[in-house]
A and B are shown apart, each in its own frame.
Chain A
């Protein structure tokens, strides 16, 4: 039964490739072909769902050996990334749960997206996502899990930008992907550190290393993975992306943020229980972040007025509770919580569009009184604690400004210092100008200098000559005069300006960062 695990993620991938290629080549176009695309996706998904149930059954009846190796993806010295799958325990159970949820939501989207412009695109991305998610939970190698992890993020990006002609959707999609990318960087660093200290990238060696990790090393690896899961599961510094991600069509919101993808983070923490238990500091971090996310989401959720946003904050709050359970050591509760939450939230998300119909006789409660009474808290809640603005102010804007400064420096400074400034180049470049000059049509007067050079060396010589000439002319011949004083005052002003510029916070932070990197 172990070998079946390969086909569970593979089938949706095949379906996705067929639909994607078909749409690209113009085979799958128009309403008439919708049924065919639907059949392919549903058959693939149903088969993969059945197989995951069979593997689950085999696991419960104890027929699985636990691992299946399907070959090698990459080999470089002692770094061997194999395509292996885990066929027991949490992985199989979650795979079965996710496969069932994916199949249900896929069936739901068939009717929901009927006659939409991006019908085939949606199903291509959905299938790709199913592949990524099932690979993520079943893979026995951290690199393969990361592949699923990042492809799932990419699919979420593509579906947030499903209506790509709307500026809000595309801006949000970009923001979400870049935020997630920070988490991904943590994941890659975690893989790298595991290889560095454990000489393996397989989960089994990371969880049960042959020679135990020191506590510092375990903490470092666990911290990297913790950053990755916080980003993926929308925990505190990263929470705002979840509300932005609600831009996509409802079934995609349900499958990504209600039922499946958002739980990838908590899955990884539960799966890496053995690693996290070696790092008490990170366990504490899980509790702190989980609790604060739960409180934050609760407070913000109270004032949300649209159904998808309030669901978003409910989700991040519940996930915060799960992280807290993990941090406190209640691993079993956390995994049950995960499964229950995935099912309930998937259902809630799917029914979100018809919620008006559901609550006809049961109007939405007004904001609770304690929040209304405290004015500042209310404001903070409505503004979602200014998290997005804070990130913009402290992170995005300085980087943008730094980029702007560097861009200016590159064009105005570096390009000129390298000695090929435009006027000198023109002299060498265009013979036509020589002709123009000889007939008297002078284009520029910069060639009046007695000495004229091009290139780095030439310009340097020219400058030296000009400076010497200037010094001779102004200082030596005239002596120290009022003009010299004026120049020195001007120089002082320039130096002051430079200093002010350098003391701007973004440069200070940059210097501190560079110093840290060097000492690290």
Chain B
């Protein structure tokens, strides 16, 4: 643990929140928009600065800030980052900036409130990535809900946007209950129960919880509860139905934020596996199957979609399945691939969703039947879409390829049948993406389509930055892996060591092979 001399993380969390208040209080809408842009831009600079200052060879938490918060319960204000979380901060800032730019003219009504909510959401999301105290984490986790609720409900584009907002919130609250129960079990496990009153020595801080191993009978409970909580957000198979609804009803840039920031899978890596390591190793096959089923199921449904936004929602679910397969393989390839793929979401899935938003803004629809011939009318948009689509199906040269390669190899090393499933998913992903491209972007342009204009400079800027990053990471994936390598190795050896300490037996074949 390296305590920070300067509270940079607090600044990164508080700056957008402060900005939200300032923007909300402004009178002039245009000025507020410009101020919002500056605030989001400065946040991106701050987070990039953090990334530059980050020491990738140190696997401990860095920039740690520790203050007592609720002393009677030992709840602390504990922040810190490591190689797994540091990369998500600039991505969050970039994505928020993209969302603000993409919604520049699209939001006319209550635009200051909208901007304030976007900035507040950014602050909360950054908080989720930085929080190391379980209560603080849970607070940020739940506080992301109100901004999203209003973003979907007030500025959605579908007729049933309020319904979608309520559906999203109910799903997330359901997941939150499971999380809260897991957190309480963890804290109580550390405490020594006294005869009267509240138990002493409750602990909520992650580093300390990691040092107190759970007894065997609680491991499975905690793991399943955490898994349930994060699976709803991720989303994994039976809990995914909120995402297509939100994609259809919510505004595209809000959906882009939701598909781009995979808090659920991050929580799985950060909390669920390390906190219940022996259960994680024991049930890794179940996690893998959940991932594999999600992967194929969502890919097959995507094959059937006629609306670009729904298609992207299902393709995003399918990719989450692939990431979970990688995490479940519990080897360094799987986990490194999973981290890279999560970062790819921020660039690829959200950019595709923004492209869908640009089409929606021009034509009022993303149904395939209303499109057709877009490539001829909007060559630049077509180009950007095509690049992101290739990244999404993992074509070499884009950032999707190294991630998928590592995930597949990771799966092959531990559960080979999952790797074959994942390969089937890769074929399917090409099929659904390309057949939609064929219907929407190629062919003869219709009468309505012929009248629209190509990307404007502002929109081009929004897409150009992720496009450059997609190619840059595709050609130099080591730049990302170098940041997360040491942490990922420590993470993995922690999860596997706990298992071998506990049961006294050697872990499964695949697992021990990956350690060699």
Contacts and interface: CB of A to CB of B under 8 A. Distances in A.
Interface residues of B, number: 67
A94 interface: no
Given A174-B438, A192-B412, A195-B409, A517 B166 contact: no
Interface stretch (B30-38, B59-67, B86-94, B424-432): B424-432
Contact of A414 (B241, B395, B476): B241
B406 interface: yes
B388 to A, nearest CB: 14
B85 interface: no
Contacts of A430: 162-163
B332 interface: yes
Contacts of A455: 170, 174
A40 to B, nearest CB: 19
A167 B443 contact: yes
A163 to B, nearest CB: 10
Interface stretch (B119-127, B257-265, B300-308, B500-508): B300-308
A170 B304 CA distance: 19
Contacts of B434: 157, 174, 177-178
A154 B390 contact: yes
- Majority secondary structure of chain B interface residues (helix, strand, loop or mixed): helix
Contacts of B412: 189, 192-193, 195-196
Interface stretch (B7-15, B181-189, B267-275, B372-380): B372-380
Nearest to A78: B516
B421 A77 contact: no
Interface stretch (A211-219, A415-423, A480-488): A415-423
- Majority secondary structure of chain A interface residues (helix, strand, loop or mixed): helix
A71 B481 CA distance: 16
A37 to B, nearest CB: 16
Nearest to B373: A165
Contact of B304 (A150, A193, A404): A404
A422 B481 contact: no
Interface stretch (A43-51, A276-284, A395-403, A492-500): A395-403
Interface stretch (B16-24, B220-228, B396-404): B396-404
A451 interface: no
B405 A403 contact: no
A181 B426 contact: yes
A164 B443 contact: yes
A407 B301 contact: yes
B166 A165 contact: no
Given A146-B396, A165-B373, A196 B303 contact: no
A114 B160 CA distance: 52
Nearest to B444: A165
Nearest to B402: A74
Interface string A412-440: 00110110101001101110000000000
B370 interface: no
Contacts of A426: 163
A34 to B, nearest CB: 18
Contacts of B239: 418
A418 B443 CA distance: 39
B396 A147 contact: yes
A181 B166 CA distance: 40
Contact of B478 (A74, A173, A410): A74
A76 B303 CA distance: 33
A151 interface: yes
B442 A151 contact: no
Contacts of A403: 300-301, 303-304
Contacts of B174: 455-456
B304 A185 contact: no
A75 B434 CA distance: 31
B351 interface: no
Contact of A518 (B417, B419, B485): B417
Given A181-B430, A403-B304, A418-B171, 6 more contacts: A24-B380, A173-B438, A174-B437, A196-B409, A420-B170, A429-B166
Kindly list the 9 A-B residue pairs having the minimum CB-CB distance in the complex, ordered from nearest. Answer: A147-B396, A407-B304, A185-B423, A192-B412, A429-B162, A517-B417, A164-B442, A403-B303, A403-B300
5 contacts: A24-B383, A164-B441, A174-B438, A454-B170, A520-B416
